[in-house]
């Protein structure tokens, strides 16, 4: 018996044999409500029952002085008849690796519930354009909000991409929650060596159950890029503006979610987008990318990561023991310093001690844009003397993942320094032209 | 025609939409409409959602027929990311909910215990999200509603919802909307279909509107309240008529809708008696452009110069029917043209009952009939346009013709200024709602507890006005209906006779409006300044109409400025009086003191509005005495 109610409401409803989606009648004073029992989210109180009335409206009824009568038991949600998928010889195969997010869900209007697709056919029913671009299949991995992902999840995704590409896919699309999409994109960039096909992370800032969803354009652009894009990189493909006109292709190691909610929340930092993709075509905006190679993929998987790395955001007045703890608890520390890569004066001796204990400390900047430079001011020079590794133009999150990668391969400080300061996947050494910093009022 | 509305089973329900006087429902932007151009336009598309059974909802299907771009005009200062659908909604504006609950209680309705915000799918582009956020706040019940002369009209529901975006332009390929209006809190009051005749509908709408205004917390002015009317008759079908702004038009709209449905039913009977069947209408669309290669018709020449062609279908057995009048000035063919316009985006149709005409000659008509395969008793419909548009247009016309054999289709219709209605879109299906998961439900108890006292009902407010200020009931209602109770009470503190104030607020403004003055420029502060200056004696009552006129036109920034330029000192007045006495001296000598009226009239002609009439009267009397004594 399923009944998503707790406490008092659960007692009252279950004593009458009421289950989710049953049709019931509630008499309360002079009013009579008739409708379907809707499951109540756990965090709500236990004093109301939610009914979906015939008009479609939900209302919450206070369970006090009510008379309840079950009229009809709930019916299971009906699955729609959908045409089956046909493989098209002329189109490439691209898997849609599902990790979470809402891109594979839809609303059931009889209950208002958002339910998951099980088959790509259902997605094609909503985005029929995809069938003209790729042969698609679902590879369900897990369903997590992206804030809950860990380096273990990144490994699973990397393995799935590796398997699919080795099987003959022309590219891979990963449906992903947007919160930490740029972390995953960067992790894949380091773990997928000798990459020769595009690996594309896609998501939506407005879920696909809404008519105004950004997922449609994002998916079309992702599929087009996976199937036809000339690049072989781990990238994010999401809206490039508030318009539904085009998506940007952003190198995963240079991508940052810079807005909590806008469609164009993902922006490249320190370089232009690689390409702009409309419903119809791909327009390259940069020639700095690893090119796609034809034929069956020869990609290699190197998923050795040391997850025990910390990222510390410096603030004015930050106490010394905060840093000390990080140095003791973790095998590597990335500092998002202020300005050119600075920390308060009183942290510097601790930095020196941490490095001396064999724990690498990488310095990046919380400014995000620009590169760190530890030679300009005295604080920076002292940090260098203390033994930090400057992170160049790497984003703090990217330095974090790269340090995990480096520590996954060696514990030798000089080797770590060498890895951190060598460009592996486009994360380091961007050309900082004056056209890569985007204030909106220019 | 004289109609026994009871006999034909007329049922009318009202839906009243009223904007509330508070900030937006799901963000803190102000609820103000802009007159300037938007700062930027955002281009969007909407995808169609599926209804519970997996079939695309009819209204959604209809919009998706047209792959449209939607352009949204944003204002950086008065709209935000929420209206642009770039950020989640904020918690529901609690003040709006409080006002809604107040209205519900005034109407004897029962509030729900917990308000759940829903997403109602609307894919015509009028909401950036593709849905309208709406919440059921209260339900009717036996005791709810209002009394009318013909009996009680019960309430069904009160919903609190977001106002839609303001449509600026609508073309088949794109629509433009402004986002200043999107999100203004809107109360939707729906009555039960208890209304039995057209006049009762007007009375009910008036009374409900008055109750809304009695709260003192609803927006006023053009477009802030609008009525939708649901009309059905026995054997006909329910119609939702949108966008009625003028109460006085309501009875006429209902009368004409009844007329339309009765005429459609008689068309159905006529077609059945002719033996026309639905399958008779399944005929191909034929390109008849060749007939018009050397046409004299300007209409056709213009279309062809744009690369359009002429397509047609035969309409078996419909001869004489397409030209049949449904409402004064609207024929059955007009209904078909509405479908063609809405679905195909074409300019309209040409049909067999109106041709020859429009420069199309008999010969051309005969050749069209021949190409389409029309026999005697058949008619035809032509559409000018590109192939895909013409196909959509003619397919929808064919569908509408089939419906004529079944009777009256259920439609959403648009009220026209003369009381007729035009097809807008098919009646939307019902299952189009799902929860707005971005906003938490609201428990109404704490808000109900805040509402200690309900505003007095309109009748009570008016009675109080008549008693306290010695106004006639008529004048008091006018003040109430114009939403000027509060202003009137404020003005009355300046010691000016209340009847004068009332007529200033109501009749003077109205007659200026009739004369075409832009009275919408008059502000409360203007009236207040006038009352103050009147009270002080610095402004003459006689001058008030002229003051209002000048202020409407924006000739003066304040009443004080007007007075400064127009006021006359007693010395100046004396000079005018002396001049008049001099000019008319012989007549004055002749009439003596009886010359007062004549002198007064002459002087007033010069000084009206510049100085108080009682001062003039006093000085004229004194000056006349002096003058007579001196001679």
pTM listed for this prediction: 0.87
Residue among A389, A384, A386 nearest A364 (CA): A389
Interface touch B135/A57, C-beta < 8 Å: yes
In chain A, the percentage of residues whose pLDDT exceeds 90 is: 81
- Given this model, what pLDDT does residue A218 score? 96
- Calculate how close chain A gets to B107, using CA atoms only, in Å: 15
Interface touch B136/A55, C-beta < 8 Å: yes
Interface touch B50/A60, C-beta < 8 Å: no
A7-72 and A93-301: identical CATH topology:
no
- Given this model, what pLDDT does residue A177 score? 93
Query: Is some CB atom of chain B closer than 8 A to the CB atom of A31?
Result: yes
- Asked if residue A382 has pLDDT above 60, the reply is yes
Residue A54: list chain B partners with CB under 8 A: 430
pLDDT in tens, B207-254: 999 999 999 999 988 889 999 999 999 999 999 999 888 899 999 999
pLDDT in tens, B301-317: 999 999 999 999 999 99
- Asked if residue B485 has pLDDT above 50, the reply is yes
Model confidence at B566, pLDDT cuts 50, 70, 90, reads confident
- Asked if residue B275 has pLDDT above 60, the reply is yes
- Given this model, what pLDDT does residue B568 score? 79
Interface touch B81/A261, C-beta < 8 Å: yes
- Calculate how close chain B gets to A114, using CA atoms only, in Å: 9
The helices-and-strands tally (H runs, E runs) of chain A is 10, 23
Residue A179 annotated as catalytic: yes
Residue A184 annotated as catalytic: no
Interface touch B52/A53, C-beta < 8 Å: no
Residue B53: list chain A partners with CB under 8 A: 78, 80
Query: Is some CB atom of chain B closer than 8 A to the CB atom of A245?
Result: yes
pLDDT in tens, B505-529: 999 999 999 999 998 888 889 999 9
Model confidence at A83, pLDDT cuts 50, 70, 90, reads low
Q: Which of A52, A197, A254, A257 is catalytic?
A: A257
- Given this model, what pLDDT does residue B50 score? 47
What ipTM did this prediction achieve? Answer: 0.93
Measure CB to CB from residue B85 to each of A50, A55, A212 and give the nearest one: A212
Measure CB to CB from residue A31 to each of B141, B430, B435 and give the nearest one: B141
Contact B250, B229 (CB under 8 A): yes
CATH of domain A7-72: 2.30.30.520
Does A93-301 carry CATH code 3.40.50.1170?
A: yes
Measure CB to CB from residue B43 to each of A110, A114, A244 and give the nearest one: A244
Return the minimum-mean-pLDDT range out of A285-299, B307-321, B511-525, B601-615: B601-615
Peptide bond into A208 cis (omega under 30): no
Interface touch A209/B88, C-beta < 8 Å: no
Reading the block at residue A306, the tokens are 């040391």
- Given this model, what pLDDT does residue B565 score? 76
Cα distances from A329 to residues A337, A347, A351, B372, B480, in angstroms, run 20, 17, 14, 87, 74
Measure CB to CB from residue B121 to each of A55, A110, A211 and give the nearest one: A211
State mean pLDDT over B385-400: 91
Interface touch A243/B43, C-beta < 8 Å: yes
In chain B, the percentage of residues whose pLDDT exceeds 90 is: 69
Cα distances from A379 to residues A327, A373, B449, in angstroms, run 20, 11, 60
- Asked if residue A109 has pLDDT above 90, the reply is no
Strands in A234-239's sheet, in edge-to-edge order, are A135-140, A93-98, A172-175, A199-202, A234-239, A246-251, A275-278, A282-284
- Asked if residue B1 has pLDDT above 60, the reply is no
Cα separation, B184 vs B26, in Å, equals 9
Model confidence at B51, pLDDT cuts 50, 70, 90, reads very low
Total CB pairs under 8 A between chain A and B: 138
Measure CB to CB from residue A262 to each of B86, B130, B435 and give the nearest one: B86
- Asked if residue A80 has pLDDT above 70, the reply is no
Residue among A94, A73, A58, A56 nearest A19 (CA): A73
Interface touch B113/A261, C-beta < 8 Å: no
Contact A197, A173 (CB under 8 A): no
Residue A331 annotated as catalytic: no
Query: Is some CB atom of chain B closer than 8 A to the CB atom of A365?
Result: no
Residues 250-279 of A with CB under 8 A from B: 260-263
Query: Is some CB atom of chain B closer than 8 A to the CB atom of A42?
Result: no
Residue A410 annotated as catalytic: no
For chain B, give the mean pLDDT.
Answer: 90
Cα separation, B227 vs B242, in Å, equals 7
Residue B48: list chain A partners with CB under 8 A: 211
- Calculate how close chain A gets to B442, using CA atoms only, in Å: 9
Interface touch A61/B110, C-beta < 8 Å: no
Interface touch B86/A126, C-beta < 8 Å: no
Contact A316, A378 (CB under 8 A): no
Residue B80: list chain A partners with CB under 8 A: none
- Given this model, what pLDDT does residue A1 score? 67
Measure CB to CB from residue A60 to each of B118, B119, B441 and give the nearest one: B441
3-state helix, strand, coil in chain B (%, to 5): 45, 20, 35
Phi-psi region of A307 (alpha: psi -120 to 50; beta: other; left: phi over 0): alpha
Of A129-143, B54-68, B553-567, the range with the highest mean pLDDT is: A129-143
Residue among A76, A29, A37 nearest A53 (CA): A37
Per-position b or e across A134-171, b if 16+ CB within 10 A of its CB: bbbbbbebeebebeebebebbbbbbebbbbbbeeebbb
Cα Rg, chain B, nearest whole Å = 32
- Asked if residue A401 has pLDDT above 50, the reply is yes
Q: Which of A178, A213, A338, A364 is catalytic?
A: A178
CATH of domain A309-420: 3.40.50.40
Q: Where are the domains of chain A?
A: 7-72, 93-301, 309-420
Reading the block at residue A167, the tokens are 């099987």
């Amino acid at each position: 018996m399923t009944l998503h109610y707790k406490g008092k409401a659960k007692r009252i409803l279950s004593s009458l044999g009421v289950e989710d989606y049953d049709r019931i009648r509630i008499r309360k004073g002079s009013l009579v409500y008739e409708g379907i029992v809707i499951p109540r989210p756990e965090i709500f109180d236990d004093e109301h029952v939610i009914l979906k009335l015939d008009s479609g409206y939900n209302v919450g009824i206070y369970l006090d002085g009510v008379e309840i009568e079950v009229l009809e038991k709930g019916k299971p949600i009906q699955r729609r008849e959908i045409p089956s998928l046909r493989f098209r010889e002329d189109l490439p195969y691209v898997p849609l690796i599902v990790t979470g997010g809402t891109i594979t869900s839809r609303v059931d209007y009889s209950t208002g519930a958002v339910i998951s697709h099980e088959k790509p056919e259902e997605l094609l029913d909503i985005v029929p354009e995809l069938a003209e671009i790729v042969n698609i299949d679902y590879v369900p991995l897990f369903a997590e909000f992206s804030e809950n992902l860990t380096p273990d999840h990144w490994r699973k995704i990397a393995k799935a991409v590796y398997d699919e590409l080795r099987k003959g896919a022309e590219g891979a699309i990963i449906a992903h929650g947007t919160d930490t999409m740029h972390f995953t994109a960067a992790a894949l960039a380091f773990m997928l060596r000798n990459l020769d096909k595009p690996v594309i992370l896609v998501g939506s800032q407005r879920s696909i159950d809404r008519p105004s969803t950004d997922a449609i354009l994002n998916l079309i652009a992702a599929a087009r890029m996976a199937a036809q894009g000339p690049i072989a990189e781990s990238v994010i493909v999401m809206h490039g503006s508030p318009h539904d006109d085009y998506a940007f292709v952003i190198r995963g190691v240079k991508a940052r979610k810079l807005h909590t909610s806008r469609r164009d929340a993902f922006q490249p930092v320190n370089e232009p987008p690689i390409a702009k993709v409309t419903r119809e075509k791909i327009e390259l905006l940069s020639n700095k990318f690893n090119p796609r190679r034809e034929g069956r993929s020869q990609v290699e998987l190197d998923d050795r990561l040391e997850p025990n790395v910390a990222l510390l955001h410096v603030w004015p007045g930050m106490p010394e023991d905060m840093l000390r703890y990080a140095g003791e608890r973790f095998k590597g520390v990335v500092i998002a310093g202020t300005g050119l890569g600075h920390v308060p004066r009183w942290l510097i001796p601790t930095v020196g001690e941490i490095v001396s204990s064999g724990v690498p400390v990488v310095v990046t900047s919380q400014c995000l844009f620009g590169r760190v430079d530890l030679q300009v001011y005295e604080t920076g020079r002292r940090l260098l003397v203390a033994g930090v590794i400057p992170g160049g133009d790497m984003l703090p999150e990217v330095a974090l993942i790269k340090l995990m990668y480096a520590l996954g391969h060696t514990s030798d400080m000089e080797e770590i320094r060498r890895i951190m300061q060598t460009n592996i996947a486009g994360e380091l050494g961007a050309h900082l032209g004056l056209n890569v910093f985007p204030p909106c009022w220019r | 025609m004289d109609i026994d509305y009871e006999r034909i089973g007329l049922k009318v329900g009202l839906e009243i939409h009223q904007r509330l006087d508070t900030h937006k429902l799901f963000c803190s932007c102000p609820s103000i409409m802009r007159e300037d151009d938007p700062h930027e336009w955002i281009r969007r598309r909407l995808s169609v959602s599926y209804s519970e059974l997996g079939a695309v909802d009819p209204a959604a299907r209809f919009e998706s027929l047209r792959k449209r771009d939607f352009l949204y005009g944003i204002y950086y200062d008065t709209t935000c990311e929420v209206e642009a659908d770039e950020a989640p909604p904020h918690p529901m504006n609690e003040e709006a909910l409080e006002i809604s609950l107040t209205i519900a209680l005034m109407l004897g309705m029962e509030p729900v215990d917990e308000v759940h915000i829903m997403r109602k799918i609307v894919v015509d582009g009028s909401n950036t999200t593709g849905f309208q956020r709406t919440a059921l706040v209260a339900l009717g019940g036996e005791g709810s509603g209002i009394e009318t002369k013909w009996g009680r009209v019960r309430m069904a529901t009160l919903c609190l919802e977001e106002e839609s975006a303001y449509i600026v332009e609508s073309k088949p390929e794109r629509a433009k909307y402004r986002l200043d209006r999107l999100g203004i809190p809107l109360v939707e009051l729906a009555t039960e279909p208890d209304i039995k005749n057209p006049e009762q509908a007007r009375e009910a709408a008036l009374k409900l509107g008055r109750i809304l205004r009695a709260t003192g917390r609803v927006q006023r002015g053009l477009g802030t309240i609008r009525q939708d009317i649901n009309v059905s008759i026995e054997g006909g079908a329910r119609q939702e008529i949108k966008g009625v702004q003028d109460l006085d038009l309501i009875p006429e709209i209902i009368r004409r809708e009844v007329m339309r449905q009765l005429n459609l039913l008689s068309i159905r009977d006529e077609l059945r008696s002719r033996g026309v069947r639905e399958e008779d209408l399944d005929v191909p669309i034929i390109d008849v452009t060749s007939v018009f290669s050397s046409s004299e018709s300007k209409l056709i020449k213009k279309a062809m110069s744009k690369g359009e062609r002429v397509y047609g279908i035969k309409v078996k057995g419909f001869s004489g029917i397409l030209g049949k009048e449904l409402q004064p000035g609207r024929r059955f063919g007009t209904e078909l043209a509405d479908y063609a316009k809405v679905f195909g985006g074409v300019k309209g149709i040409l049909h067999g009952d109106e041709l020859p005409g429009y420069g199309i000659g008999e010969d051309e008509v005969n050749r069209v009939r021949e190409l389409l395969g029309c026999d005697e008793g058949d008619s035809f419909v032509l559409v000018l346009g590109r192939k895909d548009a013409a196909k959509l247009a003619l397919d929808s016309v064919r569908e509408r013709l089939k419906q004529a054999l079944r009777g009256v289709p259920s439609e959403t219709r648009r009220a026209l200024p003369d009381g007729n209605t035009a097809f807008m879109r098919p009646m939307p299906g019902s299952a189009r709602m799902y929860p707005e998961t971005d906003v938490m439900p609201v428990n109404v108890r704490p808000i109900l507890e805040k509402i200690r006292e309900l505003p007095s009902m309109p009748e009570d407010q008016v009675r109080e006005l008549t008693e306290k200020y010695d106004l006639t009931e008529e004048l008091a209602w006018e003040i109430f209906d114009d939403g000027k109770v509060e202003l009137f009470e404020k003005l009355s503190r300046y010691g000016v006779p209340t009847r004068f104030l009332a007529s200033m607020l109501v009749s003077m403004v109205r007659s200026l409006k009739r004369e075409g003055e832009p009275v919408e420029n008059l502000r409360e502060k203007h009236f207040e300044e006038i009352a103050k200056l009147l009270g002080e004696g610095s402004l003459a009552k006689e001058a008030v109409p002229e003051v209002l006129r000048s202020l409407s036109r924006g000739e003066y920034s304040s009443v004080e400025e007007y007075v400064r330029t127009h006021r006359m000192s007693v010395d100046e007045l004396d000079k005018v009086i002396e001049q008049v006495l001099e000019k008319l001296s012989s007549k004055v000598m002749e009439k003596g003191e009886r010359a007062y009226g004549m002198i007064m009239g002459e002087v007033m002609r010069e000084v009206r509005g510049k100085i108080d009439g009682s001062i003039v009267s006093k000085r004229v009397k004194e000056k006349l005495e002096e003058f007579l004594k001196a001679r």
